[in-house]
């Protein structure tokens, strides 16, 4: 009788474990489905052919100047996330010629309701884009030639650890303008952005207590 009771208890525990596992698996599947829904993937590549002649020495090559792989996830109408990998070729040191991947953007974005003055305002927190470089890249038709002047000379970085607030001003330009001219920052009276950042850029470690406002 005692043995039967033990087997009965073990069988009950086993059934409970199986049921819990099935429920747990179901929850995990639902979690993965919700995470994978509304994910967008995109890529941007700057590939070129260069031929140069310096002091009677000629050289030419096909090369990958830079590339970006971006994943974006929309959790709801207000909250979204973005991860962008920066792809480039190492041109110095032991790894010369290797293709390297590093994180350039990794942030959460929260979209506010806004009003007539501040239209579609949002904040970004994490490894975010710097406002001026982001704007400059969006209007520069020759970006494929290289990085922006301020970034190339080490004055500003295109991304940094910090917090940004961005908004269009006075509503949004019509669809015709956005389709034929530009969809970047299409505020009727311009756009507005301000943020606070470490200052060293996305490829540097913060080594002091100073912060930069942009």
138 belongs to a structural domain: yes
132 shares a domain with 33: no
Report CA Rg, the chain.
25
For residue 127, the model assigns a pLDDT of 94
12 shares a domain with 76: no
187 belongs to a structural domain: yes
- Name the E strands within 75-181: 79-89, 99-111, 118-129, 159-169
Contacts of 170 (CB under 8 A, 6+ apart): 116, 117, 119, 187, 188, 189
- Sheet of 191-197: strand order equals 39-54, 57-74, 79-89, 99-111, 118-129, 159-169, 191-197, 212-213
177 shares a domain with 125: yes
Q: Is the pLDDT of residue 18 over 60?
A: no
Could you tell me if 164 and 126 are in contact, meaning their C-beta atoms sit under 8 angstroms apart?
Answer: no
For residue 68, the model assigns a pLDDT of 92
Nearest in space to 119 (alpha carbons), one of 19, 191, 59, 63: 191
177 shares a domain with 106: yes
Q: Is the pLDDT of residue 70 over 90?
A: yes
29 shares a domain with 88: no
Could you tell me if 198 and 212 are in contact, meaning their C-beta atoms sit under 8 angstroms apart?
Answer: yes
67 belongs to a structural domain: no
Range with lowest mean pLDDT among 41-45, 92-96, 134-138, 180-184 = 92-96
33 shares a domain with 136: no
191 shares a domain with 95: yes
The domain of 9 spans 1-37
Confidence of residue 84 (pLDDT cuts 50, 70, 90): very high
The rounded distance, in Å, linking the Cα atoms of 80 and 124 is 10
79 belongs to a structural domain: yes
Q: What is the pTM of this model?
A: 0.74
84 belongs to a structural domain: yes
- pLDDT tens string 154-206: 888 889 999 999 999 988 888 888 888 888 888 889 899 999 999 888 888 88
176 belongs to a structural domain: yes
For residue 23, the model assigns a pLDDT of 53
The rounded distance, in Å, linking the Cα atoms of 88 and 67 is 6
Average pLDDT in the chain: 82
56 belongs to a structural domain: no
What is the DSSP code string of 2-17? Answer: HHHHHHHHHHHHHHHH
The rounded distance, in Å, linking the Cα atoms of 20 and 28 is 12
45 belongs to a structural domain: no
180 shares a domain with 89: yes
Number of domains in the chain: 2
DSSP-derived secondary structure letter, 143:
G
85 shares a domain with 164: yes
């Amino acid at each position: 009788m005692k043995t039967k009771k033990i087997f009965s208890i073990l069988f009950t525990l086993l059934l409970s474990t199986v049921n819990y596992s099935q429920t747990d698996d179901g929850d995990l599947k639902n979690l993965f489905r919700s995470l994978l829904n509304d994910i967008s993937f995109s890529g941007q590549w700057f590939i070129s052919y260069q031929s140069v002649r310096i002091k009677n020495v000629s050289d030419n090559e096909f090369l990958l100047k830079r590339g970006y792989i971006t994943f974006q996830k929309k959790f709801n109408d207000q909250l979204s996330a973005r991860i962008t990998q920066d792809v480039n070729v190492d041109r110095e040191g032991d790894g010369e010629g290797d293709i390297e991947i590093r994180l350039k953007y990794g942030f959460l974005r929260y979209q506010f309701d806004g009003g007539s003055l501040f239209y579609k305002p949002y904040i970004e927190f994490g490894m975010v884009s710097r406002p001026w470089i982001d704007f400059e890249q969006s209007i520069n038709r020759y970006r494929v030639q290289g990085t922006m002047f301020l970034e190339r000379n080490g004055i500003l970085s295109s991304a940094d650890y910090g917090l940004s607030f961005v908004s269009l001003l006075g509503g949004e330009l019509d669809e015709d303008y956005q389709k034929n001219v530009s969809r970047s920052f299409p505020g009727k009276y311009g756009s507005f952005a301000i943020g606070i950042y470490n200052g060293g850029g996305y490829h540097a470690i913060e080594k002091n207590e100073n912060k930069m406002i942009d």
